[in-house]
Structure 1
Amino acid sequence: MGELIDKLMERWGVETIGGLLLILFIFSITGMTALYVRKLVFGWLGFSSQTPLVVEILAWVLVVFPSYQILFLFFGFILGQFEFVWNFEKKSLHRIKSLFVRENR
């Protein structure tokens, strides 16, 4: 197999190509669905090309980011990969938290 595929399988603890493809599918379907949610919510809020960028960024952080996290967990659960998705979420959110909070060591 390719070097990238081997690295992903090892890093994520996946034993089969099918498992890896399923996880990659979960990432892709989550991203596409989050974009759909963004389009719906931004349309509902009346955003247009005239909307200030700072307002769009704030709305993205408040709407799209959390919806992505929820959708990721949902699709992981539905497709039988909840344990992987849950552990991935915890690591990702811990990394994001560490950008804003200094831990005492």
Structure 2
Amino acid sequence: MFDRLRKKWKLNSNFQVVIILFVFSITGSAALYVRKAVFDLAGITDATSLWIKVPLYIVTVVPAYQVLFLLFASLLGQFRFAWEFEKKTFSRFIPKKK
């Protein structure tokens, strides 16, 4: 499994793959803590309509995840990978010129 990811992501070692997988996992957990804090500050409860919760969830979690991903990757020495991964991810949302 690690060899396939190492080749796909053009990494130097399986250890680097482990570090990056760790970054993905802590980023996801941290983004959910940010969501909880924002929902608590906004007074969102279980009784709040999904029409309010879902857009707020998207507006909160997506940017928080991106920033936290870069932050954690940087702290663990993987900024270059994270930056290239972010650019590739966001390039999919930009329409191609014909």
TM-score calculated relative to the size of structure 1: 0.86
CA distance in 2: counterparts of 1:12 and 1:52, whole angstroms? 40
Counterpart of 1:63 in structure 2 is: 60
Counterpart of 1:94 in structure 2 is: 91
Counterpart of 1:52 in structure 2 is: 49
TM-score calculated relative to the size of structure 2: 0.92
CA distance in 2: counterparts of 1:33 and 1:88, whole angstroms? 19
State the 1:15 CA deviation.
2.0
Deviating 4+ runs (over 6 angstroms): none
Counterpart of 1:32 in structure 2 is: 29
Q: 1:5 aligns with which of 2, 6, 31?
A: 2
- Correspondence 1:103 to 2:96: yes
2:34 partner amino acid: V
- SS class of match (1:44): helix
Instruction: Give the share of equivalent positions with the same residue, in percent.
Output: 42
- SS class of match (2:45): coil
How many residue pairs match? The answer is 98
Task: Give CA-to-partner distance per residue, 1:20-49, whole Å, 9 cap, x none.
Answer: 100000000100100111111111111111
2:9 partner amino acid: W
State the 1:54 CA deviation.
2.1
Task: Give CA-to-partner distance per residue, 1:44-103, whole Å, 9 cap, x none.
Answer: 1111111111211111221111011000000111111000000000111112x14xxx43
CA distance in 2: counterparts of 1:103 and 1:88, whole angstroms? 18
